[in-house]
Each structure stands twice: as structure tokens, then as C-alpha cells.
Amino acid sequence: MLTMGPRGTKDILPKDIANWRYIENVIRDTCRLFDYEEIRTPIFEHTELFLRGIGSTTDVVEKEMYTFTDRGDRSITLRPENTAAVVRSYLENKLYAETVPSKLFYIGPMFRYDRPQAGRYRQFHQFGVEAIGAASPMIDAEVILLAVQILNTLGLKDLTLQLNSVGCPTCRKAYRDRLQAFLEEKKEGLCEDCRSRFDRNPMRILDCKNEKCQALTVGAPEIADCLCDDCQTHFTAVQQILTAAEVSFILNPRLVRGLDYYTKTAFEVQYAPLGAQSAVCGGGRYDGLVEECGGKPTPGIGFAIGIERVLLALEKQDLLPKNEPSLDAFVMLLQKGAEVEGMKVVTALRKNGFSAEIDFAGRSLKAQMKQANRQNARYSILLGEDEIKNNIVTIKNMQTGEQKQGTIEDMLTSMKSED
Ligand code: HAM
């Protein structure tokens, strides 16, 4: 047990870090182009925030939260997502008094007690964006364009952007009635989850993965037929802007997101080869959430991209950069008692901006050479009996094999001149 992490968690090892940094750099660069600023909120929040924000009848809240009572008898939850927390922070820190809209992004771990499988973990990482304070369809299009630009910059192909409008509470009420009427006599054939969703959250039935439920919902009424004028106009405008920006999308009237705060625009980016975990990105508008969390009525929209899923897609398409290790110099100790001098050399290198490593294990010259090669060292710096006696070093260019001797100063000058 002690040598295994909890189920659904994964170590990100040194060999993986370059890939994470690569994705994070693309994200940060693109957010800068779109003028989104980074926000870092705590990993845990009061449970109440998620109950109110995400909705108490959602799978996330009912089945997937890591909730515990802390030593002060408060109910605390590890964040299963970050939209509610960003809205909480927006209100607590009065970000609405600054630039409007607040355009924020985050990268960090989220926690859901999901059934782990490829692309689905209990601790996973999201990059997310929240634009709070603008009702215009322009901002819906902007956040979608941001997601698309990041995925395109990474070079990903065969992605599909699916778009829907889930309407506002008014049109959703009308839709709910029609959907319930349609499903009424099919109710007994639905899975247990969907039977319980029937009264509480019937739209989620459309999203059920159970084949029987999918068959029973064929021909169900579509939300598109129930949208009020305002929601319809908004949705048309979003589509027009995306079309003008040459972003292709598929209208999916069955796209109902798993969190209750969504209104109007809802979208997902899918990468089919990931199978059941094909959603790489999901988001939408949440015009009621700020008010639900105790603020004035304020519109908002955002999305989150699952970083592990993006990594899987990049791997499948062979798009991850080849990360070769690299080191400027490897300091080799060729005789006992060279440790102090060796540490002096390695320190001088590092102080002068060269990455440098030294042998810590008193290994043979052959073993040290092997390590220098494995780490792609440009130079090896040799410290043997003669060098120590004469207060010099031997510097070997690992590519050309050329060797010369000199003081530490000479070594630095020579390395700088060849930089
Ligand atoms: P979500 O659809 O629940 O939305 O999650 C967004 C993305 O996070 C998913 O598309 C997927 O890529 C990734 N993801 C979710 N669960 C897991 C998991 N267990 N393992 C690995 N990856 C996962 C939200 O979280 C919303 N807060 C998005 C949003 C922001 N809407 C508006 N603003």
C-alpha cells in the first residue's frame, strides 16, 4: 500500500514534465494574446459553494465529491471544478470593480471520485477560462475561439466542436415540460439513474450513456424548438461570429452539460479516438451563477480543457516535442580527494549560467563518461592528479573530442566564446 498512490491518481515524473510545460506555455502564450489573466484559487472550498454552484442533483455533487469535515467542524470539499470557485473569488475580491468583463484563466488539479480509466482520473488537471460580466455573444465566440486556437497551436487534428443552446430558465421550463411529457410512458424502461433524473433533472437523460436510455430518447423534442426569442437571437449571433472566423462546428441539440449552472451557449470539443472520454474541452454560459453565489445578476461564460486528455490526444497524433536531455558540462572526478576541487568547478559553472553536473558516487571514468553522454553534456571537465596538482582543469568538447587545459577562468572563457 505504501508504495502505491491512491487509485485514480498519477505521478507526473521528471520525464513527463517537459510535455506539461510545453502545453502550459502554449496556454499561457495564447491567454496573453486574448488578454486573459491568471487566477489561483484554493484547492478546497466550503462544500456549500459547490452544492449551490454546480447543483445538488448533478452526478458531480451526488457521487463524485471529495468532501470531509475539518477539525473546526466545517464541511470542506476538494474542488471538483473551478468555475464556482472563481465566481466566489470574483465576488469576495470585488473583481467586478476592475476591468469589465473579468477575463481570467487557471491551470490546476481538480478532484472527482470518478471510476478511473484511460483519460479519467480522480485527480486530474484542467486549464480553464472564465469571462465574467459580459452578456454579448461576442464573448461566447471569443472563449470558443481561445479554446480552438490553443488546440490548433498544439497541432491537434480531427477535433469536433459541438455547439448547443440550453436556453434560459424560462425556455428550459417549457422544454422540461415537453421532454417529461415525451418520456412519461417510457419512464419504466429507463435506467435507475435516469428514473431518478426524470423529476429532478430530465435533460440529463439525453446525455445518458446507457444504450436502452439512448434508444428510448430517440425522437425526443429538441431544446432548439423551445428557445425564447432572446436565447435564439443570442445563439444565432454566436454561430455567425464563429462562421465568420472560419471555425467549423456541429450543432448538437443533445449536448446537455453535466453541471447545472449552464444557460444559453453550451459547447464541447471532442476527440473521438479517446472513446468514452472523448471530451477534451467543455464549457458554456452561466448567467445565473454569480447571483446564485450571492452577487448581483451578472452574466458569465467559460470552459475547461482536461490537460491529461490533451496529452493523450497529442501522444496519439505523435505531436509531443522530442525532449532530449541537455547539460552544458559534466565534471568528472578521476581520483580520490578531488571532491572539493570538483565542487568548486561545478559551482563556478553554475554561477556563470552553465548547467553542470558532477559525479557523486565515486564511479569509474567509463561510468562517468556514460552518464555524461546520457545527459547529452556538451563538455566534460576532467579533474585528475595532474589537474589538481597544477590547479587547472581539462576541458573536453564531447562532440569534436577536442581537449585543452587551463584554469577555471580559461574554461569559462572558452565555453562562453563557443556559446
Ligand atoms: P467539465 O465538462 O466537467 O466542465 O470538465 C471539463 C473537462 O475536464 C472535460 O472535458 C475533460 O476534458 C476534463 N475532465 C473532467 N473530468 C475528468 C476526469 N475525471 N479525468 C480527466 N479529465 C477530466 C467543467 O469542469 C466546467 N467547470 C467547465 C467550465 C468552465 N464551464 C464554464 N466555465
Q: Read off the CATH number of the domain in which 337 is found.
A: 3.40.50.800
- Give the three cell numbers for residue 90: 470574483
174 belongs to a structural domain: no
pLDDT for 418 equals 80
Q: What is the pLDDT of residues 109-153, one digit of tens each?
A: 999 999 999 999 999 999 999 999 999 999 999 999 999 999 999
User: Are 338 and 387 within one domain?
Assistant: yes
Pocket test of ligand 1: the residue of 12, 124, 162, 290 to mutate, having most ligand atoms within 8 Å of its CB, is 124
Beta bridge partners of 306: 126
Asked whether 306 lines ligand 1 (CB < 6 A), one says: yes
212 belongs to a structural domain: no
State the total domains in the chain: 2
User: Are 340 and 398 within one domain?
Assistant: yes
Q: Cell 484542467 appears where?
A: 126
Q: Which domain holds residue 372?
A: 327-417
281 Cα: distance to centroid of ligand 1 (angstroms): 7
Report which protein residue has its CA nearest ligand 1's atom 33: 302
User: Are 305 and 338 within one domain?
Assistant: no
User: What is the C-alpha separation between 405 and 355, in angstroms, rounded?
Assistant: 20
207 belongs to a structural domain: no
206 belongs to a structural domain: no
Q: What is the pLDDT of residues 207-220, one digit of tens each?
A: 888 899 989 999 99
Asked whether 302 lines ligand 1 (CB < 6 A), one says: yes
Report which protein residue has its CA nearest ligand 1's atom 29: 303
363 Cα: distance to centroid of ligand 1 (angstroms): 49
User: Are 159 and 27 within one domain?
Assistant: yes
Q: State the pTM of this model.
A: 0.94
Burial of 319 (0-12, 13-18, 19+ CB in 10 A): middle
Burial of 24 (0-12, 13-18, 19+ CB in 10 A): middle
Asked whether 114 lines ligand 1 (CB < 6 A), one says: yes
9 Cα: distance to centroid of ligand 1 (angstroms): 16
Report which protein residue has its CA nearest ligand 1's atom 1: 282
User: Are 124 and 49 within one domain?
Assistant: yes
User: Are 307 and 331 within one domain?
Assistant: no
- Give the three cell numbers for residue 93: 475580491
69 Cα: distance to centroid of ligand 1 (angstroms): 25
| Ligand 1 atom closest to Cα of residue 286 | 32
User: Are 62 and 108 within one domain?
Assistant: yes
Domain boundary among 291, 316, 341: 316
User: Are 278 and 334 within one domain?
Assistant: no
190 belongs to a structural domain: no
User: Are 344 and 409 within one domain?
Assistant: yes
User: Are 154 and 278 within one domain?
Assistant: yes
pLDDT for 207 equals 83
147 belongs to a structural domain: yes
User: Are 91 and 233 within one domain?
Assistant: yes
CB contact burial 229-265 (16+ within 10 A = b; e otherwise): eebbebbeebbebbeeeebebeebbebbbbbbbbbbb
N-terminal to C-terminal alpha carbon distance within the chain? 49
- Give the three cell numbers for residue 248: 467549423
Are the CB atoms for 356 and 329 separated by under 8 Å? yes
User: Are 234 and 347 within one domain?
Assistant: no
Q: What is the pLDDT of residues 176-229, one digit of tens each?
A: 999 999 999 999 999 998 998 898 889 889 888 889 998 999 999 999 999 999
Taking alpha carbons only, the member of 325, 416, 322, 323 closest to residue 372 is 325
